Homo-oligomer: A and B are copies of this chain.
């Protein structure tokens, strides 16, 4: 039925799929466009029709990562109303993602990338907006700056715990426990009382 290559029309998606699993299994450094093309069964120059260069493909992976993490965070709070439970579930979702997809996380939060494509920035903004929603409704007269501080402190803690686990400076079980400790500390703070409905 097909004397035409089966990738007709979806080579782009096939390359992204393959790239995602290479990154997951072997890290970003192991990702080669030529090997990707080989795996998918096209010539080494074929990817160029869909991605301007290697970095463009990496940017697409980063965007997909942000979108997936965003939906994980949404799923974590879905239907939950207790503030502590919401925070704990979001924290674990965030850290689990960052550990299981550590290489992808590196791609998403790349050091030194002065500016990134709009698609990536937009996906990143969506994530932080979703984190804000996950913090629950604002109390009357909430200080937006303080709430932002709380949000970034939350993100930084989770990012940091995940980084230490991914770098094997912390066992995974210790990381899990640390997430709980961090949440307890954060929710017990004055800042939480002023920004989050921690009752």
Please report A residues at the B interface, Cβ cutoff 8 Å. Answer: 27, 102-103, 105-106, 109-115, 124, 128, 149, 152-153, 155-161, 163-164, 166-170, 174, 177-178, 181-182, 184-186, 188-191
Contact = CB atoms under 8 A, between A and B. Distances in A.
Interface of A is mostly: helix
Contact of A111 (B106, B113, B191): B106
Given A152-B170, A152-B174, A109 B163 contact: yes
B189 A185 contact: yes
A181 B149 contact: yes
A121 to B, nearest CB: 10
Contacts of A128: 169
Contacts of A167: 109-111, 113
Contacts of A124: 169
B112 A102 contact: yes
